[in-house]
Structure 1
Amino acid sequence: MEIRDVIVNPFKFILNKTTCLVFIGVGVVMIILPDVGVIDHLINSNSVMKLLKDTLVATGLGSENQYSGLSLSSAFYDIGLMLAVSCGVIMIVAMFGCCGGCCKAKCSLITYIFLTSFLLAVELILVIIVYTDEKLVTDSIKGIVLMTLKDYTGLAGKNVQTLGWNFVMVKYKCCGLINYKDFERSNWTRIVSTSTSAYTLKTPIVCCDPLPKSDNLTCATQTSTGNTAITGCFDIVWDTSFGSEDFIAIAYCIGFAIQFVLIILAVLVFMEAKKKNRVAAERKLLKEKRMSSLKSMDPLPEKKST
């Protein structure tokens, strides 16, 4: 066995397993995420979602059924669909690598090498931009995130945008992207009536700290005390996600190294396939030459009978 075979054979195994896992992942995402029982379990096992549900019931603005799996299944279906699309892209790339590694298909290998190299180059460019011009990146992200506020509908909202904002603001004790004024661009209902009074809200109810445990919503009618109105979520989430530079640097290095190794191995498989095709072509040509030379030879003279 050649050294190249020792390198290439494990690569085929890795590609096969990767493809199988991607197929399984897509199936799991598409099947379980829209399932009502699974959604109920996710909500009840998460302390933030449970707190939101308790606040909704305590304020009298909705029932606990609004945070049930049946009610939120459409929102979770959208999340599942986005994840499935992402898995599908990875599956397509893995399929090209698998076909190329197993069948020595040069076209598949070239496509796999190109796609993987392209993704690696994009990732490297993004990392360089983040570390050289962080303000440009953060401003772009802020602009995109602020667009989601247009669909924010308040505590009782069921769409993905509202659920996401409510979850983040409760978990990180913040309000809006920069502060409560960000919600001026949304269409959420600011005049709310409970069983005891009517309130004109200045901040979403989830910006109250602590969250109200009754139908008294005074905390959401002011921006000075009793809430997180002036505390934006962006800096908190950004520092939490990218605050540990050493950990992120190690993660980047590992990810880039794995992709680079896969590209190198794919090139080795391609070179091996190209070599085998060339050898096969040379053998075929040599065989044809032998056959033609045999046909061109003069036949042996027949022996005369005495």
Structure 2
Amino acid sequence: MSGSLHLIGVSCCVACLFVRFDKVYIKRLILLYLAPVRSGLAEIQAISGTENDMNVIRSYDTTEVLQDLSLVLLVTTFVLLLPVLFGISGLYINKLWLIAIFIVITGILVVAKTTLIITSSLSTDLVKGWIKDPLMTSLQTRYRGDLARDSISVTWNMVMTKFSCCGVDSGRDFKFSRFRRDFTLRVFNQTLLLSNLQTPIACCNSASRTTSFEPGACAKYPIQREHTHYFEGCFEKIWNSLSQYSGEMILSAVGICAVQVLQVILACVYVELLKRDRKDQIQQQSRTYRKGSDFFFPSVTEE
């Protein structure tokens, strides 16, 4: 069980390096998962009269989008492997202070993870707030619009198209966003300039993007639910899709904590045995010294 825990730590380390520096294979996996979305992006570019989505996909940089995930994996690696380094080193060279550091660090991490598990179970809104804040910052400060080519904007467009949603909580999130609010729309060989958009075109459903009745109204006046996803936030949809695995994630976290508690108990037992062994060695050396003293100084013993 302990070996499995260490294997998880090594796997997180490898995944962290892979996510942080790979720009080929992870992009293929993401684009494979979001394959249906590409048609939506191509449709938006087609009605704007721009080139197809291939150039956007080629310039898509997963390392920029997943940098927060790489940080999470790095912290997980630290949590799982750092105490092990102290523990193994202490066992190998029989140094009590190294084993003591292992016990202290592991104990602190167990308490922290237990607190996080309880908080996640009892205060869901608090956890949601931790996740929502950086997402809202990303949407309002780094999202540039439907036709933007930077990785953050492309990711938001793919997510909103994939999950049929708009913004983090709703389309109101775009009120303070810096996205480009002008969009050139081509419908039936005619060019129409839309201005003061309330949401990106990606927030519209597929049918209403090219409707002949007031084209682009779904983004400029997002009031009809059948034409826009303005009232459906992406966060809740993604959260609900992940919540079905919440039980397994909590059980895994509890299992890791249980293994680390067992490691702490065994380390404490080993420290106690090591102390007794050293005490026995000192007593044995003391007896040997006394026997030598009796041999060389018999008068001292007789007295």
For the aligned pair, the TM-score class normalised by the smaller chain equals: 0.7 to 0.9
Q: Is the 8 A contact 1:55 1:212 kept in 2?
A: no
2:146 to 139, 155, 172: 155
With the length of structure 1 as denominator, give the TM-score of the two structures: 0.73
With the length of structure 2 as denominator, give the TM-score of the two structures: 0.74
Once residues 167 and 277 of structure 1 are traced to their aligned partners in structure 2, the CA distance between those partners, rounded to angstroms, is 64
Q: Is the 8 A contact 2:61 2:151 kept in 1?
A: no
Q: Which is further off, 233-242 or 116-125? A: 233-242
Q: Is the 8 A contact 1:30 1:80 kept in 2?
A: no
CA RMSD of aligned residues (A): 3.7
* Structure 1 partner of 2:109: 119
* Structure 1 partner of 2:84: 94
Q: Secondary structure at the match of 1:178?
A: coil
Partner amino acid, structure 2, of 1:222: Y
Q: Is the 8 A contact 1:151 1:187 kept in 2?
A: yes
> Structure 2: which 5+ runs fail to align?
none
**1:54 corresponds to 2:42:** yes
Shift of 1:100: 3.0
Partner amino acid, structure 1, of 2:184: S
* Structure 2 partner of 1:107: 97
Shift of 1:184: 2.0
Sequence identity percentage = 19
* Structure 2 partner of 1:26: 13
Once residues 250 and 62 of structure 2 are traced to their aligned partners in structure 1, the CA distance between those partners, rounded to angstroms, is 37
Q: Deviations over 1:16-72 (max 9, x none)?
A: x7557645653454257533431442244222564565346434456412222x541
Shift of 1:180: 0.5
**1:169 corresponds to 2:160:** yes
* Structure 2 partner of 1:199: 194
Q: Secondary structure at the match of 2:183?
A: strand
Once residues 260 and 276 of structure 2 are traced to their aligned partners in structure 1, the CA distance between those partners, rounded to angstroms, is 24
Change (3 A) 1:197 1:282: farther
Please give the residue correspondences for 1:114-263 in structure 2 after superposition, counting only pairs within 5 Å: 114-149=104-139, 150-157=141-148, 161-194=152-185, 196-200=191-195, 201-210=197-206, 217-223=216-222, 224=224, 225-242=226-243, 247=248, 250-263=251-264
Shift of 1:154: 2.6
Once residues 128 and 85 of structure 1 are traced to their aligned partners in structure 2, the CA distance between those partners, rounded to angstroms, is 23
Q: Is the 8 A contact 2:9 2:76 kept in 1?
A: yes
Q: Secondary structure at the match of 2:24?
A: helix
Once residues 42 and 88 of structure 2 are traced to their aligned partners in structure 1, the CA distance between those partners, rounded to angstroms, is 49
